[in-house]
Structure 1
Amino acid sequence: MSRSLVRTVATLGVAASLALAGCSGGNSADPQGSDGATDAEPATLVIDTAFSLETGDPGHNYVPTGNMVLHAVYDTLLTYEGGDESEPVPSLATMEKNEDATEFTFTLDGDRVFSDGSPVEADDVVYSLERLQGMTDSKANFLMNGITVEKVDDLTVRLTTEEPSLQLPAIVTNPALSILNAEVVQDNGGTTGTDDSAKGYLDGNSAGSGPYLLQTLDLTSRVVLEPNPEYNGEKPPQYERIVLRNVSESATQLINLQGGDSDVAVDLSGDQVAELGDGFQLNSVPSAETIFLLVNQNADVGGVTANPHFAEAVRYALDYDALLELAGAGSVQATGVIPPTFLGALGSGVEQDLDRSADALAESGYDGETLTLQFPNDYPVGGVEFTPLASRVQSQLKAAGINLELAPAPFATEIDPYVNGNEAFSMWFWGPDFADSSSFLPFGPGEKVGLRAGWTAEMAPDLAELVSAASLATDVQEREQAFTEYATQMQESGPFVPLIVPGNNIATSSDVAGATYNSTWTLDIPSLSPAG
């Protein structure tokens, strides 16, 4: 798999677990759960994180908190262990591929069972993957594009692709490709077509083989997990109850952890980590996420933003060092749409050039009108709050002659216009769908994120060809060169202005062990256990 050759292995795969001296810090919280029980029981784990959560149905999920939750409830064919994303390892199955990387054969363990005790079989795998293929309204549907699924026997499934796909083993680790109990889902409205209606059932029930079950799912406040009594995998549940709480401000997460009101804080900034004090543990690794500005190229949506010179003016107007001050320790300037530790990433980012910005702005046709900058204001990425970052962008662009008004809104409100390409000028973030540099090709013209910016393949045909070359390359050096050329061209002419790659800091009380970061599901909940 190509990811094994990525420079990010050493960084993402090694957790800087800094045990800060001291004791205590355990959970002494007493928030009431939906069942009237308290979270203060010794076997209860409380996790604070800013929610980006839409459903409990793996096939319909395509947001970070959803990945975190579903990774604990469902198993995939392959997975990653201990923060090491160099190469997927077996979960429900082992894998073999042909030399052309077009045929991947998965052999199930044979002993694994679902939460109702029934065995995990090839029919369940075929159904689960074909169900996702049939969900044309799912944001995760594209993960199965170009993949054919066939049953070989009761324990064997073959996935084939028309073109080489070295990224396929990484793709199947995504929680959207979780393996569901086919009989249970079908009994509750599940199909492999557009008429599937099992989401309502899966939003309140579990049909997986993971260590935990979904007890409560409130998309805006909390998720409660309980042990799967039938689980027979390698990571048995370690807690009688896990409560994930929606705490949108990282400062509040820090206060809760320090006060013993929670056990895990997922979204602390580098600066807040320095305030932890004694009695806590820290897992600190480079993030795989990028905060960026989107400058829409569709004149019907953005007007003046559609002129390529406008994006250029914005790109060179910004003081990236000053923006980085808001991110804290562990964060770095984004050097392009590919984060610095991934294959093909650029060695350095854009430097402020006010003369170039002024020339580009004059060419763009911008006439001083006030533009709106949209962004989610309740989802810190790596502890980076969007509101102060947007305010600093506003100030810097004003100094360069570009007038902005800020339009913050909750993530749940902002996500649809962003996905549907209806935002003229916005600030967003992107993390990989799976641990491979091809996860950043969607920024290209005619691709998923490119189209959100109104950027079609016809607008940049040379770049569209680079996307194809990077996707299909099988030779290691050829692949890296293609990704580097893609990243370079995107930096020079694309409608995206990468700003910051935040650090990722997961802090826990000294009573919790096993906290590890993953670029897809952020916190590996099944790996958490009481210390000692």
Structure 2
Amino acid sequence: MALNFPKLFRGAALVLAAATAFHAGPLLAQDQPLIIARHLEINSLDPSRAFCDTCQIYLSSAYQGLVSLAADNKSIEPLLATSWEVNADQTVFTFKLAPNAVFSDGSPVESKDVKWSYERLKNIKADASFMMSLVKSIDTPDPKTVVVTMESSNSEFIGVLTAPYTVIINSDVAAAAGAKADADASTTDTAEGWFLANSAGSGPYVLKSYAPDDELRFVRNDKFWGKAPAIGEIVIDETADAVSQAQMLQSGAADIAMQVDPDTSKTISSPDVAIKTVPSYNFIYVMFSPGAEGNKVPLTKEVRQALAYAIDYDGIIQFTVGGEGKPQASPIPNGFPGTADLPMPKQDLEKAKSMLAAAGLADGFELDVTVAQLNVYGVDLVLLMQKVQQDLARVNVKLNIQPVASAVWREQVASPGVPFSARFYAPDYFGSAQYVQFFGMIPDSFWLTRAGQKGKVDLLNQKETDLMKKAMAASDAERDGIYHEIALQMIEDKIIVPVVSPNLVLAYRSNIEGVRYSACCNLPLSELSRK
């Protein structure tokens, strides 16, 4: 393995600084930059365009939403909104904003900023825009009151607002930089480049600098209206693989390593490093795109179901994370509403062969695979696909694997489509609607559009669509059963096939406190401190 000299020198400086801080006192120790080793894989720093795991960390640190997800990963707490009211049919949501909330430039957070931020998120039409898809109108009767009216019932809207992609932007500052919120914002907005060097939020940190494929640097927001975070400066350092992250952690070059896999964690024996393994809601999935141009045979539902039966799920869990993970039944993760007692996937080679024979494919076929060269949640996606390649070979299906950069994968999956691939997902908030809206075969969902290549192949599931409308209007007591029915439909669709929900390894220096897994925000930076 080639040595990364800049990281080594940075680590030496960090160790020296930490030693100096120890003798100078605890206040100085908190002022030393805290280094987090992780693969950045950032698609944007624009709150209305960002959609990635590191984006979750960034947005929840430099910005704030109206509400937040509590440490139990289920309860909702006030943030920029001190209170809210919801009408009986869950179509009108009224929020009262904190009177003392200010942005990082000292200007007040007002209802106009909320209206502008939500309208921009919807009209930019990026990956997270679905979170505002049901919003009909937003009224601002006074500077501290916001009234959001829906097209139809939206029982999960308050939960949606804990997602970091729904943060509130300083509309005056962003608009001056070219940001737009109008209906044509997707073509007229010119602010994405500005957001790579500037933040415009009310969070505990502000963006200091971002160097693609190198680092993302935060500094404490001196005008923060809440409790000031303990750490004055935080750096997320681009470190692509688990072994390098573990080495940085043990040497003191990093304080936290975020993507150490279970096997690598077992090699760490330093008394100065703490390792905790916890269940997560993250998962890795494979997906089929029947509308992709490169398909050599029609990927009908029966063919997709047959190929899913050929996959060795238990073997994948052992191969990818050494058994430190769980199977997952549907694209709604274990523990979310509707997932109790779902049938877990099982390999059945005889059934796979029988179904392929019934489809006239007993002699097999070739399937092109484009997969991003990423290691996420301790899983190398290329190695995962090589394991699946071995599984499908047992039913005479040959996978042609083409590893590509993640940015290339994003482009290809949009057009001309990717016949078969693997990807990952982390929750944006605690609630099952996000998974149906993103993965479900319902109108305008991300994967209906991508898998069908904008209607080239009709994949719409009308029963799923009707159930989703019912779920959005249901009471808390009714929703669980409805999402269970939806999950069963998504299992039958076999567009998205989860293969492993990895346990999460929390790896950090023993003097760091506040490290925890957040189901919306990945790692809450403002809770970190040094002993």
TM-score w.r.t. the length of structure 1 is 0.88
Of 184, 187, 199, 2:192 maps to 199
Contact 1:132 1:177 in 2 (8 A): yes
Of 391, 396, 407, 2:391 maps to 396
Moved more, 62-71 or 492-501: 492-501
Q: One-letter code of the match for 1:67?
A: Q
Q: One-letter code of the match for 2:450?
A: R
Partner of residue 69, structure 1? 58
With over 3 angstroms needed to count, the CA separation of the structure-2 counterparts of 1:302 and 1:433, relative to structure 1, is farther
Contact 2:289 2:451 in 1 (8 A): yes
Contact 1:55 1:219 in 2 (8 A): no
> Is 1:363 aligned to residue 364 of structure 2?
no
Partner of residue 339, structure 1? 333
With over 3 angstroms needed to count, the CA separation of the structure-2 counterparts of 1:239 and 1:488, relative to structure 1, is same
Q: One-letter code of the match for 1:286?
A: P
SS of the residue 1:315 aligns to = helix
Moved more, 292-301 or 384-393: 292-301
Map Cα deviations across residues 259-296 of structure 1 (whole Å, 9 max, x no partner): 21111011122233333323323453322122111112
Map Cα deviations across residues 105-155 of structure 1 (whole Å, 9 max, x no partner): 11111112111111112222222222222213x222221112122112111
Show the 5 A alignment for 1:251-400: 251-277=243-269, 278-298=271-291, 300-325=293-318, 326-345=320-339, 346-366=341-361, 367-378=363-374, 380-400=375-395
Contact 2:46 2:196 in 1 (8 A): yes
Contact 1:56 1:217 in 2 (8 A): no
Q: One-letter code of the match for 1:56?
A: L
Distance in 1, matches of 2:276 and 2:46, equals 29
Show the 5 A alignment for 1:205-224: 205-224=198-217
Partner of residue 220, structure 2? 227
Map Cα deviations across residues 40-74 of structure 1 (whole Å, 9 max, x no partner): 64411000112220222111111111111121111
Gaps of at least 5 residues in structure 2 are: 1-5, 19-31
Percent identity of the aligned residues? 29
Show the 5 A alignment for 1:125-524: 125-136=114-125, 138-147=126-135, 148-193=137-182, 194=185, 195-234=188-227, 236-277=228-269, 278-298=271-291, 300-325=293-318, 326-345=320-339, 346-366=341-361, 367-378=363-374, 380-420=375-415, 422-441=417-436, 442-446=438-442, 447-454=445-452, 459-476=460-477, 478-524=478-524
Contact 1:329 1:503 in 2 (8 A): no
Q: One-letter code of the match for 1:100?
A: D
Quote how far apart the aligned CAs of 1:306 are.
2.1
Quote how far apart the aligned CAs of 1:249 are.
1.1
Moved more, 418-427 or 502-511: 418-427
Alpha-carbon RMSD across the aligned residues, in angstroms, is 2.3
Contact 2:49 2:128 in 1 (8 A): yes
Partner of residue 73, structure 2? 85
Contact 1:30 1:39 in 2 (8 A): no
With over 3 angstroms needed to count, the CA separation of the structure-2 counterparts of 1:421 and 1:170, relative to structure 1, is farther
SS of the residue 2:73 aligns to = strand
With over 3 angstroms needed to count, the CA separation of the structure-2 counterparts of 1:208 and 1:56, relative to structure 1, is same
Quote how far apart the aligned CAs of 1:371 are.
2.0
SS of the residue 1:418 aligns to = helix
Q: One-letter code of the match for 1:400?
A: V
Distance in 2, matches of 1:123 and 1:488, equals 41
Quote how far apart the aligned CAs of 1:499 are.
0.6
Q: One-letter code of the match for 1:294?
A: M
Moved more, 361-370 or 211-220: 361-370
Distance in 2, matches of 1:201 and 1:468, equals 38
Partner of residue 25, structure 1? none
Show the 5 A alignment for 1:34-113: 41-42=17-18, 43-82=32-71, 84-94=72-82, 95-113=84-102
SS of the residue 1:522 aligns to = coil
SS of the residue 2:208 aligns to = strand
Distance in 1, matches of 2:16 and 2:410, equals 35
Contact 2:317 2:323 in 1 (8 A): no
Contact 1:381 1:502 in 2 (8 A): no
SS of the residue 2:258 aligns to = strand
Distance in 1, matches of 2:171 and 2:282, equals 34
Q: One-letter code of the match for 2:467?
A: L
Map Cα deviations across residues 431-454 of structure 1 (whole Å, 9 max, x no partner): 333220112103221322233221
Gaps of at least 5 residues in structure 1 are: 1-27
Distance in 2, matches of 1:305 and 1:430, equals 27
Distance in 1, matches of 2:106 and 2:345, equals 55
Contact 2:291 2:417 in 1 (8 A): no
Distance in 2, matches of 1:385 and 1:231, equals 39
SS of the residue 2:413 aligns to = helix
Distance in 2, matches of 1:40 and 1:172, equals 42
SS of the residue 2:189 aligns to = coil
Contact 1:54 1:219 in 2 (8 A): no
Map Cα deviations across residues 466-505 of structure 1 (whole Å, 9 max, x no partner): 33333332251x3212111121222234222221111122
Map Cα deviations across residues 175-213 of structure 1 (whole Å, 9 max, x no partner): 222111121112211221222222222210121111111
Partner of residue 9, structure 1? none
Moved more, 488-497 or 73-82: 488-497
